């Protein structure tokens, strides 16, 4: 039977990281084989966290850590509050009323009644949505809060409310040095990473790519400029369209904005609808969940954009770089951790700069190729999932073993 690439054996990574690295990972995992670990977040679908947890939880099992992945449940008003919290943690204003905080706390109380987290040896909570869960348990093992958001300037009022919760955790993980906070909890930096064998990232034949693009009537007669992102103001879809329109005065191309809607992000559909009136023959907006289309677009594009205004890390940047496509990214959050300006892509701080770099890349094929080669090498060196797995193993094994009763 043909292997769809949904579950790849960890041994496949040897071709990218070498045997010694894989042996080292297995050796580090040996003392914690059988450890029961749970990851908890708020969506199985859409966004970088789900994208990471899917393959990471499988890899953890493949090295013998009994890892589960569970979701909290909530209704629209809960996710509307948590999206406001997400935005405020990235620096937006928030009208933080008692009613909103009550919805947040009460929904998590219900979730806690259904989730028996004391049966695990390590609990890993992702992002602010399930953060408050910890208040409903008497801890019997280390709890880790993994925050994927750009925390460089969190809204002070919200942070004041969240900090005492964060301090109940035994460790906090962020994606970059500048996201660390003044809280009494050890903080680690883990940058996200990609699964090179997934349907989104594996190599595709020209026929595969053409089939996907044809399916959505995406023309390939002109070079493609692509942004793949949830429809979210922080991803600046309007800035992308504006930059493209300026660039097109000099070089002709087709823009494709592909987005999906995460189940924990109620703002997405409205933002997509607002953009739709700008759709035209050469500006194509697609709201679909199609992993293979993401792969085909990131590969086929002459230029990938990630013109974010805030960005925790930006897995879409990593994914495009892995495919050897140069990325023009906003100079914010996690994007400069991946792109070194002018070397393996471009960093921009305005619509005008984005337009200028689009034009340069569209006009200069050798530049595109050189940057693409360096982009892929960056991902190979720093952003494959086995690196992240090893960081988690080190962290999980690092707590005192008295917490891990099965030893």
Binding site for ligand UDP (CB under 6 A): 47-48, 51, 200, 228-230, 258-260, 291, 294, 313-316, 319
Picking from 163, 70, 187, the residue whose alpha carbon sits closest to that of residue 120 is 70
Question: Of the two residues 35 and 43, which places its CB atom closer to ligand UDP in the complex?
Answer: 43
H/E element, 146: strand 143-146
User: What number of CA atoms fall less than 13 Å from residue 369's CA on the CB side?
Assistant: 3
Question: Of the two residues 290 and 370, which places its CB atom closer to ligand UDP in the complex?
Answer: 290
Integer Cα distance of 121 and 401 in angstroms: 10
* CB atoms closer than 10 angstroms to residue 352: 12
- The nearest distance, CB 79 to ligand UDP, in angstroms, is 14
Question: Of the two residues 283 and 315, which places its CB atom closer to ligand UDP in the complex?
Answer: 315
Q: Where are the beta strands (DSSP E) in 11-136?
A: 36-41, 66-71, 122-126
Question: Of the two residues 141 and 304, which places its CB atom closer to ligand UDP in the complex?
Answer: 304
H/E element, 80: helix 76-89
Integer Cα distance of 346 and 303 in angstroms: 10
Altogether, the residues listed in the chain come to a count of 407
Integer Cα distance of 298 and 225 in angstroms: 9
- The nearest distance, CB 272 to ligand UDP, in angstroms, is 10
- The nearest distance, CB 305 to ligand UDP, in angstroms, is 12
- The nearest distance, CB 314 to ligand UDP, in angstroms, is 5
- For tokens 């991946």, the residue is 338
Q: Which residue is nearest to ligand UDP (CB)?
A: 48
Question: Of the two residues 97 and 291, which places its CB atom closer to ligand UDP in the complex?
Answer: 291
Cα-Cα-Cα-Cα torsion 381, 323, 52, 155, nearest 10 degrees, comes to: 90
Picking from 242, 143, 137, the residue whose alpha carbon sits closest to that of residue 185 is 143
- The nearest distance, CB 229 to ligand UDP, in angstroms, is 6
- The nearest distance, CB 260 to ligand UDP, in angstroms, is 4
- The nearest distance, CB 48 to ligand UDP, in angstroms, is 3
- The nearest distance, CB 300 to ligand UDP, in angstroms, is 15
* CB atoms closer than 10 angstroms to residue 38: 20
For 241-277, give one letter per residue: b (16+ CB within 10 A) or e. Answer: bbbbeebbeebebbbbbbbbbbbbbbbbeebbeebee
313's tokens = 């890390």
Integer Cα distance of 204 and 29 in angstroms: 33
- The nearest distance, CB 401 to ligand UDP, in angstroms, is 34
Q: Could you tell me whether strands 66-71 and 122-126 are parallel, antiparallel, or unpaired per DSSP bridges?
A: unpaired
Contact 129, 72 (CB under 8 A): yes
């Amino acid at each position: 039977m043909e292997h769809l690439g949904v579950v790849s054996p960890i041994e496949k990574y040897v071709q990218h990281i070498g045997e010694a690295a894989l042996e080292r990972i297995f050796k580090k995992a040996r003392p914690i084989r059988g450890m029961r670990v749970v990851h908890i977040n708020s969506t199985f679908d859409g966004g970088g966290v789900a994208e990471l947890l899917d393959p990471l939880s499988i890899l953890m099992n493949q090295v013998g850590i009994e890892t589960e992945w569970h979701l909290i449940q909530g209704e629209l008003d809960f996710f509307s509050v948590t999206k406001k919290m997400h935005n405020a943690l990235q620096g937006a204003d928030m009208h933080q009323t008692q009613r909103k905080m009550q919805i947040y706390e009460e929904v998590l109380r219900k979730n806690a009644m259904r989730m028996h987290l004391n049966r695990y040896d390590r609990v890993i909570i992702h992002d602010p949505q399930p953060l408050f869960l910890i208040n409903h348990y008497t801890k019997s093992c280390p709890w880790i809060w993994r925050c994927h958001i750009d925390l460089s300037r969190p809204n002070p009022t919200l942070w004041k409310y969240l900090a005492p919760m964060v301090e109940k955790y035994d460790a906090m993980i962020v994606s970059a040095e500048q996201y660390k906070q003044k809280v009494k909890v050890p903080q680690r930096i883990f940058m996200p990473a990609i699964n090179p064998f997934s349907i989104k990232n594996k190599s595709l034949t020209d026929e595969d790519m053409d089939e996907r693009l044809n399916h959505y009537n995406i023309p390939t007669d002109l070079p493609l400029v692509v942004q793949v992102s949830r429809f979210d103001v922080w991803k600046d879809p309007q800035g992308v369209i504006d930059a493209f329109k300026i660039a097109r005065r000099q070089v002709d191309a087709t823009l494709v904005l592909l987005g999906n809607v995460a189940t924990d992000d109620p703002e997405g559909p409205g933002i997509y609808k607002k953009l739709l009136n700008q759709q035209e023959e050469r500006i194509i907006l697609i709201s679909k969940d199609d992993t293979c289309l993401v792969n085909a677009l990131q590969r086929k594009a002459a230029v990938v954009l990630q013109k974010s205004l805030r960005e925790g890390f930006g897995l879409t940047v990593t994914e495009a770089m892995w495919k050897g496509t140069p990325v023009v990214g906003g100079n914010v959050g996690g994007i400069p951790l991946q792109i070194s300006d002018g070397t393996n892509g471009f960093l921009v701080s305005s619509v005008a700069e984005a337009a200028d770099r689009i034009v340069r890349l569209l006009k200069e094929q050798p530049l595109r190729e050189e940057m693409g080669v360096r982009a892929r090498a960056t991902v190979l060196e720093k952003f494959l999932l086995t690196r992240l797995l090893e960081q988690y193993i080190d962290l999980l094994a690092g707590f005192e073993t008295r917490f891990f009763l099965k030893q």
